[in-house]
Structure 1
């Protein structure tokens, strides 16, 4: 074996491994991956050199480097770091929300408009509303059930229940998006239920109560549902129209990965919505204060998704998870 040629060929990788292994600060995820690959290669090189009886000095130096690489890999993979979590919420999640904004934004406009029209139509046409509920049920909803629903259980238990139910519905919309049609069924069911309740309240001149008890949590809650549904539909569209540069499988895998980012990110958002519904909606605060709190939180989410999301999409580190994404 020509040791000089072998050293010239592998020396660059060994030097890079030494630099990464001796770095005192925490490594980025990309550097950790590079460190693992270089360590594995150096271990293979050491095994090859031992069978060829090379210079003992080179063997000793390479053995020391492999040991340092192993220690660095163990340290990097075993230690806890807040950096990946920070990068997720600072870049990956808002960028994913921004990239899919046309999908969930369009759904939001269409469905909110359709729901408002249905509420008005049912309130103006009692015969249509009677197909869903009778007069006795209407009186019960207006006088007891609608307002009482929000204070029926202890606030902390109610928050957990609402969070679980909304997370399940949003997850169903996101996961079923690959088949497209189930998303519209889930959205229609939710929209019809809201329209019937709204029609009941408005028909009895209780529209103000309906908005007071719906808006504080509903603005964020329904937006999260639209986000899940919109991203789910984008996943489904990826295998219908993958684009000119990707196969259907590549586009589907890339957008499923993006969908998982959104799914994880919606969990805390829905938790906030659940807390609003349990603690703010039924509280003794004036209606304008309750609606104002919900609106402030909702506008904060939209700013995070659209304003900061645009900047995050531009600034987030490039990687295989972002490079494979086709245009939204």
Structure 2
């Protein structure tokens, strides 16, 4: 496509649509019909330019124009329920699905590190002596670890857990602006903590208690953290290697995807926190508590795979409809 010739041919159409949008409160019936027709036509122009041009300024201008025209055409009658349904069936799952390789790699690296640290702690009396005295370790593995889940009222404990887990996920998302470089450090700190306690518990013969208390909520909780970390690191990598499209365009798209991840994980971590406060310390048999955790994890992964793969096959990216293609500048 000759972009310059395309612009010359269609510039008057774009200018006319912009004029109608500006005068939206004073349009006649015929002008309203014209605005709808031009909106559809310019939307097609935008789609063609996105696939054929790397002119981010031109694409950004048309994206903004189409978004404004769409707001006029749809007005205030678009139901909020439609937006909510689209978020949970398209935007969040497809963004999570598209980062599955980063997500899986993050999980594998995390658990490998936990296993190495746990083995090191369990087989090294020198390391255990650095961690604490024998009486301190005995108190931890025989009392403190289990009592942690029972010493607070369920409601306040759920809120505390949700706030703590959300903070970890928020750090992963926020560190994306630093190319994602601090994210491995955040994961390392959490892996080290889990590895140390695992090593001490298994060395003391309390491995079953550890797994029985961590599995119900830990599967979903860690999955959410891995997703946040994966999305953050992918956004950081986008700055380094944007591919064939302009860096600003790709970065804007990935940045909006991070918003979807952040909002979606609020709900996921609420579920995880509720399980940790209500199921983990409950008198239910261990097999039932673990079953709740596995069921919640399986349900979440099935949800992501089903809706995410379906949206991906349909060519959806989870991005805001008619969103500008570049980051806003001052």
TM-score normalised per structure 1: 0.75
Whether the 8 Å contact between 1:129 and 1:199 is mirrored in structure 2 is: no
Match for residue 228 of structure 1? 228
Match for residue 61 of structure 2? none
For 1:18 and 1:125, the matched residues in 2 are separated by: 73
Unaligned runs of 5+ in 2: 1-15, 21-28, 38-64, 326-330
Whether the 8 Å contact between 1:238 and 1:251 is mirrored in structure 2 is: yes
Would the alpha carbon gap of residues 319 and 307 (structure 1) be closer, same or farther in structure 2, given more than 3 Å must change?
closer
Moved more, 135-144 or 83-92: 135-144
For 1:15 and 1:288, the matched residues in 2 are separated by: 63
Match for residue 305 of structure 1? 304
Q: Report whether the alignment pairs 1:15 with 2:52.
A: no
Would the alpha carbon gap of residues 123 and 255 (structure 1) be closer, same or farther in structure 2, given more than 3 Å must change?
same
After superposition, give the CA deviation of every residue in 1:202-241 in whole Å (9 maximum; x if it has no partner): 1100000000000000000011000001100001001000
Would the alpha carbon gap of residues 18 and 176 (structure 1) be closer, same or farther in structure 2, given more than 3 Å must change?
closer
Unaligned runs of 5+ in 1: 1-5, 20-29, 39-71
After superposition, give the CA deviation of every residue in 1:236-269 in whole Å (9 maximum; x if it has no partner): 00100011222x2222221111111111000000
Match for residue 77 of structure 2? 76
Match for residue 242 of structure 1? 242
Would the alpha carbon gap of residues 124 and 323 (structure 1) be closer, same or farther in structure 2, given more than 3 Å must change?
farther
Partner secondary structure for residue 131 of structure 2: coil
Correspondence 1:125-274 to 2 at 5 A: 125-179=124-178, 180-246=180-246, 248-274=247-273
Whether the 8 Å contact between 2:257 and 2:318 is mirrored in structure 1 is: no
After superposition, give the CA deviation of every residue in 1:153-208 in whole Å (9 maximum; x if it has no partner): 00011000000110011010111023222111111111111111111111100000
Residue-pair matches, total: 271
Would the alpha carbon gap of residues 194 and 17 (structure 1) be closer, same or farther in structure 2, given more than 3 Å must change?
same
Alpha-carbon distance, 1:18 to partner: 7.7
For 2:103 and 2:152, the matched residues in 1 are separated by: 32
For 2:279 and 2:290, the matched residues in 1 are separated by: 9
Alpha-carbon distance, 1:318 to partner: 7.3
Would the alpha carbon gap of residues 12 and 129 (structure 1) be closer, same or farther in structure 2, given more than 3 Å must change?
farther
Would the alpha carbon gap of residues 36 and 296 (structure 1) be closer, same or farther in structure 2, given more than 3 Å must change?
closer
Partner secondary structure for residue 197 of structure 2: helix
For 1:225 and 1:105, the matched residues in 2 are separated by: 12
Partner secondary structure for residue 205 of structure 1: coil
Whether the 8 Å contact between 1:178 and 1:233 is mirrored in structure 2 is: no
Q: Which has the larger radius of gyration?
A: 1
- Higher relative contact order (Cα pairs below 8 Å, separated by 6+ residues): 2
Moved more, 213-222 or 301-310: 301-310
Partner secondary structure for residue 181 of structure 1: coil
Alpha-carbon distance, 1:143 to partner: 1.6
For 2:100 and 2:133, the matched residues in 1 are separated by: 40
